[in-house]
Structures are given as structure tokens and as C-alpha cells.
Amino acid sequence: MRFVKMHGLGNDYVYVDGFRETVDDPPSAARRLADRHFGIGGDGLILLLPPEPGVDAHVRMRMFNADGSEAEMCGNGVRCVCKLAYDHEATPGIRDHNPMRIQTGAGVLSLRYLLGATGRVERVTVDMGAPELDVGRIGVNLPDGARAIDYPAMQHFAFPVDLPDNWAHHCAMEGGMTCIGMGNPHAVFFCESVADVPLERVGPAIERASIFPNRINVHFVQVHDRAEMTMRTWERGSGVTLACGTGAAAVCVAAALTGRADRAALIHLPGGDLELAWDEPSGHVFMTGPAVEVFTGEWHPR
């Protein structure tokens, strides 16, 4: 089976062109391919496929985390799907569509791409759609007595799970969490020092907390000024990742809603920078960033 290794700001996946290849058991394949010691290595597996019948899209994306679980969407991944479809001409006529419409588990997204000097896709702007602000629809079961903190619609509230080692004091946590849906669920925590967050310990504890029945992506954010932030991510099903596009969109929304930043910001992630803008007239979040092909190869399972 031929594959392409690609990444968006170091958020790397193994990509398979489903117009030409067949993956019989994607969850199992994701676990084997994503293994960084015994496989190709990556945060998971992403399939480029024809859209489902009746869906107004040019191609379809299916995404499987490193643990084999299927996720709704990945902002960095969908940029790379756009690049894969265009650069490798997945289907006749695909290069005539800019913006390109991609079906995901979170709906159909519109992506506008820019070509580099070599005629390949270099940067992509994704219309991420409108954020979901209802905690019930995001997948958060508020416990009895949960306390809303100066925020409408019960979005920002005290986190009810006790975590060890007084870590929140060391990174100067700023209160509760803000829950945002960007096609998948996100919990955003603001603090004064993201470098001091023991992400490998607190990330999995929050991801699997009982109030998140479908688990959740976890982000810690340090605000530098009204238009610049730094974030770190524990990604549901994959662990620590160098970047999370839907997470950056959620951070942009959370910072604006809680009055910490403006609606447009440059967000620094461990793998690089993303430009985010929460457009007021449409209510949609737009994310701009790179898409990079690393190498191609063939996988012969044993």
C-alpha cells in the first residue's frame, strides 16, 4: 500500500489516497502505522476518499488517531488533505477547485489554497465554520454544583477534578476552563506559563475525566497580548502533539469570549505558527497555515 507522510506544523499523519488504495481495517492500520518505533510514525492515519453519495464536496477525509479511535476532524490534517488531493491529482478535475470542499466528520469545509514556486500547495486557509458554544452539544456533562464564571451559556466554569502536585499553582492557572466545539471537543485553560504545565501528567487525566464521556482535547494557553498567544496541546487519542488546528481555533474563540484577546491572533504552537481569525459577520473561524509533504513510500504489512 502506498502512503504519503505529511505534517502541518509537526502534527504528522500517514496519509493514504483512497482513490487508488484500500485500507480494510483503518483503526488497526492506524495503530500499526502510527507507532513511532515499529511503524512509520505519526499522530495517526488520515484517508483521502471520494465524498459520500449526495454530499456536495470534492473529496472526503477520514481521520484515525494513533490509538485507532476515529476523530471528527483535524485542522492541520485537513490542510494536508487539500495538498494531497491537489499535488497528487487524486481525481480528474480536482485542481480546478479553489476553494476545495472537503467532507469531514464535522461537516463539509471550504479550503482556499496558495501554490508555491514549484506549483504545489504551500499554504491553506480553512473555513472552520462557527464554534459550538453549548456544552451539552460539545459533550460535557456538567456536574451538580458546577460554577459558571462570568460567562454566558455556562461555558467557563470551575474544573471539578482534583489533580495532584499543586501543578496549577506553579504555572499560575487563571481559574476555570472554557469549553468550545470546533467539530470536535476542546477544553481550554489559561495560565501565565505554559512551559510549567506538566502536560504529560495532567493532559490524560483531564482528557478522560468523567465529565467528558467522549473524552476531550486539552489546551493550555499563555496570552502575550491582544493578538498573540502560545499554546500547548494534549490531543485526544494521540497525546502530546506539536500542533492542533481545531484546538488553535478553539483557543482563538475562548480568548476572545473571555476578554483576553481580540478576534484575530497569531498563535504559537510547538511546531510553528497559525493565523486565526474569528470573523464577526459570519461567525466563522478561519485558520491559515502550511501543509508539508515529508516523503512517500510503500507499506507491506507482515
pLDDT digits (tens, 9 = 90+) for 196-206: 999 998 899 88
One domain for residues 170 and 96: no
d(CA 18, CA 27): 15
One domain for residues 112 and 81: yes
Q: Is the pLDDT of residue 175 over 80?
A: no
What's the domain range around 66?
A: 2-127+289-298
Look up 74 and say whether it is catalytic.
yes
One domain for residues 38 and 120: yes
DSSP for the chain, written as a single string? -EEEEEEETTEEEEEEETTT---S-HHHHHHHHH-TTTSS-SSEEEEEEPPPTT---SEEEEEEETTS-EES--HHHHHHHHHHHHHTT-STTGGG-SSEEEEETTEEEEEEEEE-TTSSEEEEEEE--PPB--HHHHT--PPTT--B-S-GGG-EE------STTHHHHTTEEEEEEEEESSSEEEEEEES-GGG--HHHHHHHHHT-TT-TT--EEEEEEEEETTEEEEEEEETTTEEES--HHHHHHHHHHHHHTTSS-SEEEEEETTEEEEEEE-TTT--EEEEEE-EEEEEEE----
All three cell numbers of 195: 512551559
Q: Which of 136-140, 250-254, 263-267 has the lowest mean pLDDT?
A: 136-140
One domain for residues 111 and 200: no
One domain for residues 26 and 77: yes
Look up 244 and say whether it is catalytic.
yes
One domain for residues 139 and 275: yes
Q: Which of 80, 82, 244, 252 is catalytic?
A: 244
Q: Residue 256 is part of a domain; what is its CATH number?
A: 3.10.310.10
All three cell numbers of 190: 489559561
By the 10 Å C-beta count (0-12 exposed, 13-18 middle, 19+ buried), 92 is classed as exposed
What pLDDT is recorded for position 151?
A: 43
What pLDDT is recorded for position 143?
A: 67
**pLDDT one-digit tens code per residue, 204-222:** 988 998 888 999 999 999 9
Neighbours of 234 (CB within 10 A): 26
Q: Which of 74, 80, 179, 252 is catalytic?
A: 74
The domain total for the chain is: 2
One domain for residues 100 and 147: no
Please give the average per-residue pLDDT across 172-176, as a whole number: 75
Q: What is the pTM of this model?
A: 0.89
**pLDDT one-digit tens code per residue, 142-170:** 766 565 554 443 455 555 555 656 777 76
